[in-house]
Amino acid sequence: MGYAANQPEVSTFRPGQYAPSRTAATPWGSGILDVVTTTLITGASSGLGAEMARQFAALGHDLALVARRVDRLDGLQTELLAAHPGRRVEVRALDVTDPVAVRQVVHELNAAMGGLDRVIVNAGLGKGAPIGTGGDAANRETAQTNVLGALAQCESAMEVFRQRGQGHLVVISSVSAMRGMPKAMTTYAASKAFVAHLAEGIRAEVMGEPGLAIDVTTVYPGYIRSEMNDRVVQDTPLMVSTEEGVRAIVVAVEKRAHNALVPPWPWEPIGRALKVLPLQLVRRLG
Ligand SMILES: NC(=O)c1ccc[n+]([C@@H]2O[C@H](COP(=O)([O-])OP(=O)(O)OC[C@H]3O[C@@H](n4cnc5c(N)ncnc54)[C@H](OP(=O)(O)O)[C@@H]3O)[C@@H](O)[C@H]2O)c1
């Protein structure tokens, strides 16, 4: 299938490639890791985005949080500022399917916060129906959000990073991107393969470019509890809590891994198996 080029790998942190603003102790080890100061998270009103905001705030990041449900963002801002006095948390309403608004909000937040160090392209939609069965509106909505929305976010993030000469672009793909998926997953899985290839292409573009220190991380979550899968995946033993799943995401992001399946167990071996499984077996997963 069309995903063979993007082999999952856990790459190592490359000290010195990027000049972070300061250092902080990490919760998962005794060492000191470099961290960036200002992180923009899209889709921060629920699920993985909101929990990433909580965990990155605990690591000492200033945060720019965007989504359409700004009331949720306001509540999260209040919670984060109460838990971490002294941190800066900016929130903005943003629909990522509006490319003009994406550009405006990303550049405005970059200016307001004195430079964005990291942008996490997380906003996503999981609606879908088998192709050709009348669910084209849901499939199109998912493609518009996950494909064109992600493209707009990457364009704006990379504009900012190119201006600054540095940055860390993180995209949230999915383990489902490893293969074409049947049923309601077809468009969603294809959209997540797009996001992963987009990120790899950007990495190929900037790697080794003189004067640019830009890292690109693609995260492939397995099943992590969130609003998206509340009603879809009910009782799989592979589902982990939002907190546990996001802890694995934060570790991978802080390591600046190129590609990370999260949580690594059992999703790294599942991801490897998915690439070679016969389609008759893959289709049962949809
Ligand atoms: N949870 C999992 O098991 C899992 C697995 C693989 C990949 N993922 C990916 O993880 C990311 C986060 O999803 P989640 O699981 O946390 O689901 P979620 O709780 O439903 O969160 C989705 C987020 O995306 C935002 N969003 C959706 N459409 C948007 C739009 N047009 N403009 C701006 N924001 C939009 C939503 O905010 P508003 O509605 O307020 O705008 C919400 O904050 C998604 O990209 C998803 O595909 C999740």
Of residues 38 and 18, the one with the higher pLDDT is 38
Q: Residue 16 corresponds to which tokens in the numbers above?
A: 């010195």
Q: Is 220 a catalytic residue?
A: no
| 231 pLDDT more than 80 | no
| 27 pLDDT more than 90 | no
Q: Which residue is closest in CA terms to ligand 1's atom 42? A: 43
The answer to whether 240 and 192 are in contact (CB under 8 A) is no
Cα 142 from Cα 152, distance rounded (Å): 15
pLDDT digits (tens, 9 = 90+) for 65-120: 999 999 999 999 999 999 999 999 999 999 999 999 999 999 999 999 999 999 99
| 175 pLDDT more than 70 | yes
Q: Which of 68, 194, 228, 261 to mutate to test the pocket of ligand 1 (most atoms within 8 A of CB)?
A: 228
| Single-letter residue type at 168 | H
The answer to whether 27 and 280 are in contact (CB under 8 A) is no
- Tell me what percent of the residues of the chain surpass a pLDDT of 90: 82
3-class secondary-structure state, position 129: coil
Of residues 26 and 106, the one with the higher pLDDT is 106
The answer to whether 222 and 238 are in contact (CB under 8 A) is yes
Domains of the chain in sequence order: 22-285 (3.40.50.720)
Averaged pLDDT score across all residues of the chain: 89
| Single-letter residue type at 265 | W
Cα 253 from Cα 221, distance rounded (Å): 12
Q: Residue 56 corresponds to which tokens in the numbers above?
A: 């990155």
Residue 93, strand partner residues: 67
The answer to whether 106 and 40 are in contact (CB under 8 A) is yes
pLDDT digits (tens, 9 = 90+) for 45-65: 999 999 999 999 999 999 999
Q: DSSP letter for 175, please.
A: G
The answer to whether 264 and 14 are in contact (CB under 8 A) is no
Least trusted range by pLDDT, from 11-15, 39-43, 44-48, 202-206: 11-15
196 lines ligand 1 (CB under 6 A): no
Q: Given this model, what pLDDT does residue 191 score? A: 98
224 lines ligand 1 (CB under 6 A): yes
User: How many other CB atoms sit within 10 Å of the CB of residue 86?
Assistant: 7
- 11 pLDDT band, cuts 50/70/90, is very low
Question: Exactly one of 18, 188, 220, 223 is catalytic; which is it?
Answer: 188
Q: Given this model, what pLDDT does residue 233 score? A: 63
69 lines ligand 1 (CB under 6 A): yes
| Of 263, 274, 268, 259, nearest in space to 6 by CA | 259
43 lines ligand 1 (CB under 6 A): yes
